[in-house]
Copies of this chain bind each other. A is one copy, B any other.
């Protein structure tokens, strides 16, 4: 399983992914699920992936090597060449469809699913910062002021805190903190989501990565979040009034 979350707020973008993959509980590995492309001053693009690892790795490879055009079969385009985030989302969609054309039928025959849910965030010079949710079919939706975060993978455990506290006006600091709390709840409740975490923070219009961190069990800040959030919840709980029926 996987948990990835992306938040696009007024000040910028936060993307967070775990790194555990499993094919059964006795087949567990660690793979980075957040890929970052950066050319300072020109573009900063990040892709977080949930689903079939073979599918999502193939998509990343295509984005690096170039995806052939849909009609003309002309020069392949790489993610470093797209002229806007919308073009980047279309390129990811096209890559997904090419992987599906190649592997979809064989996957179906072996009883496996062509599963992929991708979060694509970033900014290309001359355009706005964007965050997209890209479906396995290659189509996509984009985050708005009203819906400023997307999740893929094991989304439910970590959703209530985001539903309550995230808005477009959340600061970048708070967005990163909320992403980590949401991840902490997911880690506790689903063993197939695991450390280390990949955390990306980018300021709007900076056209560069502000932070691209790997967070493991030794990371002192995540340890603080992990222990203090539990304590904070407990004390918040203790301050609620008792049920009045006794």
Contacts and interface: CB of A to CB of B under 8 A. Distances in A.
Interface of A: 156-161, 163-165, 173-174, 176-178, 180-181, 185, 188-189, 201, 210-211, 213, 221, 224-225, 228-230, 232-237, 239-246
A164 B188 contact: yes
Given A201-B245, A228-B240, A233 B157 contact: no
A5 B185 CA distance: 19
A245 B160 contact: no
A224 B241 contact: yes
B165 A243 contact: no
Given A213-B245, A236-B233, A245-B201, A160 B177 contact: no
A236 to B, nearest CB: 4
Contacts of A237: 161, 165, 174, 177-178, 181, 232
Given A211-B245, A221-B243, A229-B236, 13 more contacts: A157-B159, A158-B160, A160-B185, A160-B188, A163-B189, A165-B234, A213-B245, A228-B240, A229-B240, A232-B236, A232-B239, A235-B236, A236-B236
